[in-house]
Amino acid sequence: MVDYKELADLAERLFEASDDDDERLAERLDTLDGETRGALLASDLLNAYQVFYYCFRETPDDLAVERLQLHAASDLARGIVIDEVDIYDLVFYLIGGTPALVITDGENTLARFEGERAYEETLEYLEEHL
């Protein structure tokens, strides 16, 4: 188990070293051991956008970025709506360290994608089906 104070200090050092550059932050997160990285990705020390970028190495549209930046990474356990397409919501989750995107109408799941290609697969699905 990672001590919260140590984790907070590490996060501060990562932010200083990356100088608000998403790619550099992701690269530095890559160098951490799995337990420490997992604790950071599920904490209140990172925002959900930083986790999204880490997972997919992509930047979504401006509205999705804003929505993600307003949430702590810990909110990803419940999921964060990052976009609406027709009557569907696109929800980003982090489940056991695995990124997932779900297209849902609020009651039913239309499609679910997991892993490092989930964002790319979601966009392809939306383009083909909606």
Beta bridge partners of 99: 94
Residue 84 backbone phi and psi in degrees, to 5: -125, 135
The domain locations on the chain are 4-129
Question: Is pTM, for the whole model, over 0.85?
Answer: yes
* Mean residue pLDDT across the chain: 96
pLDDT digits (tens, 9 = 90+) for 77-115: 999 999 999 999 999 999 999 999 999 999 999 999 999
Q: What is the mean pLDDT of residues 63-76?
A: 98
pLDDT at 53: 98
Within 11-124, strands assigned E span 80-85, 88-95, 98-104, 109-114
Q: Please, which pLDDT band fits residue 69 given cuts at 50, 70 and 90?
A: very high
